[in-house]
């Protein structure tokens, strides 16, 4: 079984300040982990992924995440928030099965950026 817990349903930051979106996972095997972003009324876009290579993963738009097995965490960070970062962010764990990957989504964290 696998699960994901996003620890904050809503995070609000000022423009230019750091962003931290927290995610803990549970998995019976070595997981693949992802962060997706969903802007209002849009589809989901992949920000970054961890697939057992480097534990510090860099993604698009200046985001990065660190896989910490001992803490079962995969927190998303960005040094300086931009207004365009305001969106819903989903932490996702993937399990491989016969012929497909089953994604389990967290409940999402809404990021607000204050000018």
If DSSP codes are grouped into helix, strand and coil, which group holds residue 46?
strand
Contact 101, 95 (CB under 8 A): yes
Task: Rule CB under 8 A: choose which of 44, 64, 72, 86 binds other proteins.
Answer: 44
Region 93-112 residues binding other proteins, contact defined as CB under 8 A: 94, 96-103, 105, 107-108
Tell the smallest beta-carbon distance from residue 9 to other proteins (Å): 10
User: Which residue, 74 or 108, has its beta carbon nearer to other proteins?
Assistant: 108
Tell the smallest beta-carbon distance from residue 109 to other proteins (Å): 10
Region 58-77 residues binding other proteins, contact defined as CB under 8 A: none
Tell the smallest beta-carbon distance from residue 80 to other proteins (Å): 26
DSSP 6-72: ES-SEEEEETTS-EEE-EEEEESSPPEEEEEEE-TT--EEEEEEE-SS-SEEE-GGG-EEEEETTTT
Task: Rule CB under 8 A: choose which of 12, 15, 46, 71 binds other proteins.
Answer: 46
Q: What's the CA gap between 47 and 90, in Å, rounded?
A: 10
């Amino acid at each position: 079984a696998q699960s994901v817990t996003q620890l904050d349903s809503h995070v609000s930051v000022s423009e230019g300040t750091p962003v931290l979106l927290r995610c803990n996972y549970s998995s019976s095997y070595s997981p693949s982990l992802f962060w997706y972003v969903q802007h209002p009324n849009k589809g989901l876009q992949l920000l970054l992924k961890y697939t057992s290579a480097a534990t510090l993963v860099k993604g698009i738009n200046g985001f990065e995440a660190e896989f910490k097995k001992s803490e079962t965490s995969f927190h998303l960070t960005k040094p300086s928030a931009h207004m365009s970062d305001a969106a819903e962010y989903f932490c996702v764990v993937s399990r491989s099965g016969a012929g497909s990957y089953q994604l389990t989504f967290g409940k999402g964290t809404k990021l607000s950026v204050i000018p």
